[in-house]
Amino acid sequence: MNITITQVRNAASLQADNLRMDVEINHPQYGWILYTIDPSDTDMTIDNDAVMALIGDDFAAYVPPTQAELDTAAAAQVRAERDSILARVVDPIASNALRWADMTTEQQNAWSQYRTDLLNVPQQNGFPYDIVWPIKPE
């Protein structure tokens, strides 16, 4: 089923070549919704070429991110990876009283240090671009 779009507004380029755009489209069923035009999109329910023709030259120019924005995004990505390791690897061991009690003092200390080292990743000198990830205990 193809959906015909006849109205667009608030288009903004997402990259320098203007091939990716965020735009609001007036969807016949849902009304005004945010839509992203992406050349790699394989869903042809909405004809992106037709939407681009409606946009024409009426769009906000691409503004590349600042270094501060890139740094913030990189830091958020590293923190998310660290948080995932804590949730998937450390928490199932450290929060399980029976598993914890079965460990030797040395093993408990190693896991405690691993957790601390993960929490301290953002304090590393190279953060967020040069990370030395701690080694998981055996």
Would you say residue 1 has pLDDT above 70?
no
- Inter-CA distances, 114 with 63, 90, 122, Å: 41, 8, 14
CA–CA separation, 32 vs 65, rounded Å? 27
- Tell if the pTM clears 0.85, that is, is over it: no
Q: Regarding beta strands 21-27 and 8-13, do their DSSP bridges make them parallel or antiparallel, or are they unpaired?
A: antiparallel
Partners of 46 in beta bridges: 3
Average pLDDT rounded to a whole number, residues 87-101? 95
Going by the DSSP 8-state scheme, the letter that residue 87 receives in this structure is: I
Q: Per residue in 42-74, pLDDT tens?
A: 888 999 999 999 999 999 999 999 999 999 999
